Structure 1
């Protein structure tokens, strides 16, 4: 295997995140593995879970938002897994992987695995899936596998990927959407190959139904190849309003609620019948900018926006101090994070106004902005908008559901800015590639600034971890110097549960797997 290409992420990632939260109003940030002494796991029961976002699709290739993984990982396994606390790559559907030369990645596949519809999992199924990633017209992961020139079965349980150029990030990419293997039989049987609402994977749970904006129901996969799930099933309710979501647990209508904000955690902490937990996260809050046209094409306007933000205040007001109030894409202590970048932009209104004036906007500027419509997102927009307004930057805001905002801004090219959480990727080069490369779905401009491609290529074809770290630090400085986005603060993964729920692990990526979750009687 090639986990050494990426380096085991140091344990300091977790410790440093914990250290920054002691004064956060008593809201302790706990490692996901730290739990009170609990009774032994038992099998049985249907977990009543709640998440605040309706997925755009349950086909891994056509969805868009990180919260989709709350449902996706119930039903799908990836080719390559990762340790939830360190992000070290681990075997999953591929038992091992190796670069036999700089442009050939060979996967050895697990035997004896079946999809939920009885289709055998083998090299033929993986080849079909990876080709679909690149050729399906509705695929949102085409850019993830743009490096792949050819995929072929080189044995019944062996797949070889021939690359156009060296790419050290590819194993990590196969932990993500592109690596979540869909049954080829289900795709071939579906009209137009559309399995958005009929997911068939190899995961620990099998799909039953999806009622839009209401419920996703799954049941135990009794034939699961790995450790069998404790739960009989999961009913994943969708409740868009955060406070209402928390009340479902308080009222005994749900057992656990995911993806909450600091405000809900503070409320839950006061209820002795609830357990509120915050764990370190690779998710951070930013705004995607269309720097290919209009006023944001001028780097001075983008820099002015960054100088106008008081990030420590944003973190304290919006995240209860649980996150990191800095402008890095990564949490403090993460191996690819240069600490010098964290305070690259500090609040400087005079500098922001001067840059706007130099760009021809002495009287200020209005930015057409999309934002999510939930309560926490609206509050973020209000606080952020108030800070920007101090520099003469006014936001014209259109709130919508997450999938709609992505459609409007990234597909239909409307507006100039999209406020959104993002991140949650196991390899840092992938984080840059997904957001700033010309082919990236999240890059509304569809352009790359001079100097970007050289750094991006170096981050992908450098296999020595120390040298790769240096390249990634240079990329951090490039992104900030050119103000390619508007980072605000890093977050934490927040859940609220009843004491009878055990074994939940949100992971650094906020991508939970529920097969280890169990409930007391």
Structure 2
């Protein structure tokens, strides 16, 4: 019998998310799938997509920014999928998965699937991929699989994961980057195993070309194992400037623009020839902090002062048009792992922030070296956040750059004290915490864990009972907030602008769209 851990959880529905957002002064969101008497699907056509971010890599295990998934899920299937509205786990390349015991996960694989290069998908391919995730020099998912002692083929279409300790979140991990299976033959043929720019998966579309910062082209996978894609091809243009991206849709030069902000939604709603939609999202805006030795953020009082200096409801209203949520949790209001008692742990208190800075030896204020993304929306966020922090004497010295470069500077080269960035989009909340605050986490620039974190993290992974696990995650939320391990600002909404001829697009709660069921009206 298949064990689907999410099957035991209350559904995170759009209704519950919208109710939570409205409780924080948000605006009712428009469901992306709501439309009256939609015409019947048709096959054919090239979908012209506009997206503001150039992927860091088209190798799923080498990138780390969530917008990479705009392209990744065109090319790759994961072992396990998820319902875009509830995050309930679903079969994909795996037909079933079951914990034989708390440290043994058995995964049955789909037969008759081929990679884009014609090579067979089977247990050996999965074992090769998991080993690569754990050992490849450029892999950014090593920390996601630290629980794995061994992955072995226990049949032509069966793999068994032997774990170092129980981990209830592993199936969700296999719905993420680590589960997006790359052709072993393509890796072996590539110099140094680098397939960043030569992606070969089993997904509904096949790679044609990538013109860096300009265009990605794909064509239909005519040998796709699942329902055949409707589209003949996809051309994804990279346009960093959001207003220009929307103008491409309104001018009829593009069919859909992804990852837009509230400002573009407001502009697009004035045009009767396009559709602007906002849907609930697990993405939130925060700042990764380097609280390692030698950093001013090593002092918890400085981190707490920064959190007390922010007016989150105002950030949500000014920067997101009230469409998101202005709390300091990593999750939206109404989500099962979000403790309502602590989601507003920090509220605006400038005097308290100043007092904490004074206690920490910064009575005259402090300067924080900050990295941020360089696009228009990111610059605006940085300016508003900077202005609020300045009221408490916290000055940001900002270096803007493209997302991949900003991550490189802060997380790899250890430059600066803070990185302002969107984050989130993890199928499992325990994974969300560990990807940010574990000592091995890519986003943890300090590469250290505070005392007490590991015990809570392990308990959140080792506990399979829903009610007990929820209470552990509530404790984790309080721990992260009390220790001010990051600087959360607001939860977002997924915003798109599209032609009314585009049908069946769903951004999903994780802002990770799959395009195989999207179709174009004639």
| Fold shared per TM-score above 0.5 | yes
Structure 2 match to 1:456 = 457
* Residues 443-495 of structure 1 deviation map (CA, whole Å, 9 limit, x = unaligned): 00100000000000000010111100000000000000000000000000000
Structure 2 match to 1:96 = 96
Structure 1 match to 2:283 = 283
Q: Does 1:45 align with 2:39?
A: no
1:52–1:150: structure 2 CA closer, same or farther, 3 Å change rule? same
* Residues 368-422 of structure 1 deviation map (CA, whole Å, 9 limit, x = unaligned): 0000000000000000000000000000000000000100000000000000000
Contact 2:21 2:325 in 1 (8 A): no
Correspondences of 1:341-356 after superposition (within 5 Å) = 341-356=342-357
Structure 2 match to 1:477 = 478
Give secondary structure in 1 for the equivalent of 2:341: helix
Structure 1 match to 2:257 = 257
1:12–1:195: structure 2 CA closer, same or farther, 3 Å change rule? closer
1:425–1:351: structure 2 CA closer, same or farther, 3 Å change rule? same
* Cα distance in 2 for residues equivalent to 1:454 and 1:210: 44
Structure 2 match to 1:311 = 312
Correspondences of 1:22-421 after superposition (within 5 Å) = 28-293=28-293, 294-421=295-422
* Cα distance in 2 for residues equivalent to 1:94 and 1:246: 38
* Cα distance in 1 for residues equivalent to 2:268 and 2:25: 13
1:431–1:402: structure 2 CA closer, same or farther, 3 Å change rule? same
- CA deviation after TM superposition for structure 1 residue 263, in Å: 0.3
- Relative to the length of structure 2, the TM-score reads 0.98
Structure 1 match to 2:443 = 442
1:2–1:377: structure 2 CA closer, same or farther, 3 Å change rule? farther
- CA deviation after TM superposition for structure 1 residue 19, in Å: 3.0
* Structure 1: gaps spanning 5 or more residues: none
- CA deviation after TM superposition for structure 1 residue 21, in Å: 5.7
Supply the RMSD in Å over aligned alpha carbons.
Answer: 1.4
* Cα distance in 2 for residues equivalent to 1:259 and 1:2: 35
Give secondary structure in 1 for the equivalent of 2:115: coil
* Cα distance in 2 for residues equivalent to 1:483 and 1:259: 28
- CA deviation after TM superposition for structure 1 residue 342, in Å: 1.6
Structure 2 match to 1:517 = 518
* Residues 137-171 of structure 1 deviation map (CA, whole Å, 9 limit, x = unaligned): 11111111111111110000000011111111100
Give secondary structure in 2 for the equivalent of 1:235: strand
- CA deviation after TM superposition for structure 1 residue 11, in Å: 4.3
Contact 1:9 1:86 in 2 (8 A): no
Give secondary structure in 1 for the equivalent of 2:420: strand
* Cα distance in 2 for residues equivalent to 1:195 and 1:325: 40
* Cα distance in 2 for residues equivalent to 1:209 and 1:386: 42
Contact 2:8 2:466 in 1 (8 A): no
1:25–1:245: structure 2 CA closer, same or farther, 3 Å change rule? farther
- CA deviation after TM superposition for structure 1 residue 42, in Å: 0.3
Give secondary structure in 2 for the equivalent of 1:344: coil
Contact 2:20 2:332 in 1 (8 A): no
Give secondary structure in 1 for the equivalent of 2:260: coil
1:467–1:65: structure 2 CA closer, same or farther, 3 Å change rule? same
Q: Does 1:497 align with 2:517?
A: no
- CA deviation after TM superposition for structure 1 residue 30, in Å: 2.1
- CA deviation after TM superposition for structure 1 residue 6, in Å: 3.5
- CA deviation after TM superposition for structure 1 residue 36, in Å: 3.0
Contact 1:275 1:497 in 2 (8 A): yes
- Relative to the length of structure 1, the TM-score reads 0.98
* Structure 2: gaps spanning 5 or more residues: none
Contact 2:84 2:509 in 1 (8 A): yes
- CA deviation after TM superposition for structure 1 residue 261, in Å: 0.2
- CA deviation after TM superposition for structure 1 residue 27, in Å: 6.2
1:24–1:261: structure 2 CA closer, same or farther, 3 Å change rule? farther
Between the two proteins, the alignment pairs up a number of residues equal to 521
* Cα distance in 1 for residues equivalent to 2:486 and 2:25: 30
Contact 2:79 2:92 in 1 (8 A): yes
Give secondary structure in 2 for the equivalent of 1:341: coil
* Cα distance in 2 for residues equivalent to 1:259 and 1:336: 25
- CA deviation after TM superposition for structure 1 residue 251, in Å: 1.1
* Residues 285-325 of structure 1 deviation map (CA, whole Å, 9 limit, x = unaligned): 00000011311000000000000000000000000000000
* Cα distance in 2 for residues equivalent to 1:194 and 1:348: 49
* Cα distance in 2 for residues equivalent to 1:514 and 1:3: 28
Contact 1:29 1:278 in 2 (8 A): yes
- CA deviation after TM superposition for structure 1 residue 14, in Å: 1.9
* Cα distance in 2 for residues equivalent to 1:26 and 1:389: 26
- CA deviation after TM superposition for structure 1 residue 31, in Å: 2.6
